[in-house]
Amino acid sequence: MSFYEVWLAVNIVWEYLMANLPVIIILLVAIAFLFGIAVVKGSPAWRKGLRVGILGGIVVALVSIFIIPSVIDSKLSDLNYWVDWANLFAIAGIWGAIGAVMLWPVGAMFVSRD
C-alpha cells in the first residue's frame, strides 16, 4: 500500500465523517453528557460500569449485524463471501464500541460499588 493510498483512505474517512457531522456531534454530546452526569452524581463505579459497557457493546454489535444491511438498502442475504462478512463485522464492531462507551457511564452510575 503506497502513501497515496493511505492518504486517499484518510481523506475518504474524513469526508465521510464530515458528511455525517450532525450524527457525530449528537453522539459526542451524548457521550460527554453521560460521563458528566456520572461524575456529577458522585462516586461512579467505573470498573464495574466498564463490564456493563462491554456487555452492552457486544449486544449492540450483534444487533447491528442485522440492522446495518437494511440501513444501506440491502439484506443480510446479499452478503456473499468473507470480505462482505469481514466488513459487516467491522462496522458492527464500531457501533458496538460506540455503544460500549455510552453504556459505560450508565453502568458506572447504576451498578453498586460492592
User: Taking the mean position of all CA atoms in its chain, how far away is CA 45?
Assistant: 22
Cα dist from 36 to 50, 52, 65, 108, whole Å:
16, 18, 30, 12
Binding string, residues 58-87; x marks residues near another protein by CB under 8 A: -----------x--xxxx--xxxx-xx--x
Locate 44 and state its grid cell.
Answer: 461512579
Q: Of 88, 97, 101, 111, which one interacts with another protein (CB under 8 A)? A: 88
Nearer to another protein, 13 or 32 (CB): 13
Listed in sequence order, the residues at least 6 apart from 85 whose beta carbon sits closer than 8 Å to its beta carbon are: 79
Q: How far is the CB of 81 from another protein (least distance, A)?
A: 5
Binding site for another protein (CB under 8 A): 4-5, 7-8, 11-16, 18-19, 69, 72-75, 78-81, 83-84, 87-88
